[in-house]
Structure 1
Amino acid sequence: MFEARSIDSGSKPEFYRALAAQLEALLAGESDPIANAANTSALLFQAMPDLNWAGFYFMRGGELVLGPFQGRPACVRIPVGKGVCGTAVARGCSILVEDVQAFPGHIACDFASRSELVVPLHGRDGIIGVIDLDSPSPGRFDADDRTGIEEVAAIWLSACGEVERSTLARAS
């Protein structure tokens, strides 16, 4: 059984190690992608300070479709190559945006959002979706956040049977 623990710590790498441990415990024994995305979104939203949105978009019919999330209502469909989420899919890599107002083609689902971090979910058959985090503060996310959320993505993918956990690099 999962037991929530405080993950306050002195540094971001320590925070993300504790977050990863909690997420692994939370997803242990469950392989349903939607259930795991719902719990992952809730954990991220509760544990991470200064977020106004945390959630998933999944590839459906060649576009991103809204999945489980925490926060205000969101855009339902995002074309590949559009906005931060669609650009992350098109490029196949994580994107950290310090000021979304300066990102060409940013899709404003919540006008309070000022910075964004999007991590693609690389499954067995290619990119199957993204984890998307928004903050009302410019410059909220940094390289430690990107590394930490990439580890969160790896844990989610492994729990859902999309990749073998042993093949994924662990965040240091």
Structure 2
Amino acid sequence: MNSDAKSRRYERIHSQLSDLLSQTPDTTARMATTAALLHHKFKSFFWTGFYRLIDGQLTVGPYQGPLACQILEKDKGVCWAGVNSREPVVVPNVHEFPGHIACDSRSKSEIVVPCKDKNGNIYAVLDIDSTDFDTFDETDAAGLENITALLTR
């Protein structure tokens, strides 16, 4: 999918989620709805979900896909890289990422987007894996950042 088509898809998903997420202030429900919608709108998304930052640990939250690691080792892997950098992390080939945590060996590329509250504090990350290499790019990062911003509106 080219960048323009991908951008338009993210805009449509953003609009749809904006309406859906207005139905509840509950963050867990919002995460579950977001993960489900994203997972089913992109065929390349193998695992789509959230890791919540709880008491200094990244603990699995709502997701779609195969079984996940329940707790991610501190400061290791792509999700922690997103927390520590406070920016989206795009990984074209997870096998080349230092300290990658392989919850499922079928994953080949990944994107992580930090979820920030209204004060800019990170409370979770959106983590998406693909079974294809080079699935994610800056278009995904921008689209997913706009979508995660909806969680705290």
Q: TM-score, normalised by structure 2?
A: 0.93
1:85 aligned to 2:94? no
Report % sequence identity: 38
Alignment check: 8 A CA contact 1:81 1:88 kept = no
Structure-2 separation of matches of 1:55 and 1:17: 19
- Residue 126 of structure 1: CA displacement? 1.2
Structure-2 separation of matches of 1:90 and 1:48: 27
Provide the residue aligned with 2:10 in structure 1: 16
RMSD: 1.2
Provide the secondary structure at the position in 2 that maps to 1:11.
Answer: helix
- After the TM superposition, list the runs of 4 or more consecutive aligned residues in structure 1 that deviate by more than 3 angstroms: none
Specify which of 124, 134, 139 is matched with residue 139 of structure 1: 134
- Which is further off, 149-158 or 93-102? 149-158
Q: How many residues align?
A: 149
Alignment check: 8 A CA contact 1:80 1:87 kept = no
Structure 2 counterpart of 1:50, one-letter code: S
Structure 2 counterpart of 1:129, one-letter code: A
The 1:39/1:149 distance shift into structure 2, 3 A limit, reads same
Structure 1 counterpart of 2:64, one-letter code: Q
Which ranges of structure 2 fall in alignment gaps of 5 or more residues?
none
Specify which of 29, 34, 38 is matched with residue 32 of structure 2: 38
1:99 aligned to 2:88? no
1:126 aligned to 2:121? yes
- Residue 92 of structure 1: CA displacement? 1.1
Specify which of 149, 156, 162 is matched with residue 151 of structure 2: 156
Specify which of 107, 118, 121 is matched with residue 113 of structure 1: 107
- Residue 125 of structure 1: CA displacement? 6.1
Q: TM-score, normalised by structure 1?
A: 0.83
Structure-1 separation of matches of 2:142 and 2:132: 19
What are the within-5 Å matches in structure 2 for residues 50-65 of structure 1? 50-65=44-59
Which ranges of structure 1 fall in alignment gaps of 5 or more residues?
1-9, 159-172
Question: Max radius of gyration: which structure?
Answer: 1
- Residue 91 of structure 1: CA displacement? 1.3
